[in-house]
Structures are given as structure tokens and as C-alpha cells.
Chains A and B, each alone.
Chain A
Amino acid sequence: KNQVEQSPQSLIILEGKNCTLQCNYTVSPFSNLRWYKQDTGRGPVSLTIMTFSENTKSNGRYTATLDADTKQSSLHITASQLSDSASYICVVSALGNNAGNMLTFGGGTRLMVKP
């Protein structure tokens, strides 16, 4: 069964600090991995997508990494801001079908940034 596990479940950091969120998956065959940010009371919004051949990709202060051999991804947030407080969801797509019915969702990491 395809699975996506995220850690930690929740995290509290001080404003300005860095943090790293982890995602381990067993989806096969792998197509791509996407990180979504979900603000409280809002729908998830895509931050970045990682394909098989990509190791690192940045989007502003967010940097995602992918190790397809160990089936792990991380999302690193640099110089955190209060607006980074949200849940971060890792979503993995199986090869051959990128439709929303073939996605496996992680349970998310809830990040709280305190002043």
C-alpha cells in the first residue's frame, strides 16, 4: 500500500530560525512529490514539485530536497517568518497518472513560528 509519512507532526520555532520538515514515502512507481502549504482555515497551496531527476529546488525561503533512492524528501525553511505558521503537506504521485485520484497524502506537519 502506498504511504506517505511526515515528521515531526508539529513544530514550534522562533521567528528568524530555520527548520526542516521530513517526508518519507513508499509510493511506487514514483512520479513526483509536491509540498503544499495550508494556512489555518484555507485550502492547501502548492509550494514546489520535485520530479525523479531533481535533487534540490528552491522557492524563495523554501528549499525542497529529494532522495529517490531512500525515498525521502525534506522541506527547509530559512529565516522563518510569522506567516510561515501553517501546515505543510507532502503529496506523492505515482507514475503514469498525475490526476488527483492517484495521489497519496501525508498527514502534514503543523509549524508554529513564534515572535
Chain B
Amino acid sequence: DADVTQTPRNRITKTGKRIMLECSQTKGHDRMYWYRQDPGLGLQLIYYSFDVKDINKGEISDGYSVSRQAQAKFSLSLESAIPNQTALYFCATSAAGRGTGELFFGEGSRLTVL
């Protein structure tokens, strides 16, 4: 089983619909992240959480919200999806402390908004 699991892997939806992407991890890491990847662009940070009671906006948080339900679970919501939110979304984890900062990614959730 993957250490970082994302569901769904693929979703097609219509403009205005609410969508939730879920992420769960078995690595025991405190830090979790949601990134967005568009073709030819670097990964962009949407939201991040350093523990269950901690939620922080990333560089492109508008139109998104998150929930950290437990240490192992971090979900991303699009309250009213729009076509320019069509992208590949990645959940990632990292260990706390002054480590090397390696990110461990899920396999991605491809979202298409029509």
C-alpha cells in the first residue's frame, strides 16, 4: 500500500459543483500539504498544515479550503469549482524539525472542471 493515498484519482465535474479531494498517510508525519500542478509550471502550494490544529494558506489558496481531520488525514475542497481549477493535485507529507525537507507525494488526483 502507498504511504500517501489520494482519492479520487480522477474526477470530472461541472462548473459550480463542490468537490472534495482526500488524502491519508501512513508515514506518521506531522506536516501535510496540498499542491497543484499545471503543465509546464512548477508545483504551487495551496494549503499546508503542520499539525492537527494548524492550517495555513499557501500561494494560491483562493477558491480552496482544507480540513485536517486527524494527523493522518488532510482534505482539500473546492466549494464551487471553476474550469481554471482543472489541474493535477498532489498531497504531500514531510517530517517535522530541521531535517532535509524531503516531500513524500501521493499519486495525484486529476480534476477536470467542465
Please give the residue numbers on chain A whose beta carbons come within 8 Å of chain B beta carbons, in ascending order.
4, 9, 31-32, 34, 36, 41-46, 49, 89, 91, 93, 98-108
The answer to whether A32 and B33 have CB atoms under 8 Å apart is no
**Chain B residues whose CB sits within 8 angstroms of the CB of A101 once the complex forms:** 33, 45, 48, 56, 58
**Chain B residues whose CB sits within 8 angstroms of the CB of A36 once the complex forms:** 103
Measured CB to CB, the nearest residue on chain A to B102 is A46
Number of A-B contacts (CB under 8 A): 70
**Chain A residues whose CB sits within 8 angstroms of the CB of B94 once the complex forms:** 98-100
The answer to whether B42 and A49 have CB atoms under 8 Å apart is no
A34-B43 contact given A41-B108, A100-B31, CB 8 Å threshold: no
Query: What distance in Å separates the Cβ of B98 from its nearest Cβ neighbour in chain A?
Result: 7
**Bound-state Cα–Cα, A57 to B30, Å:** 29
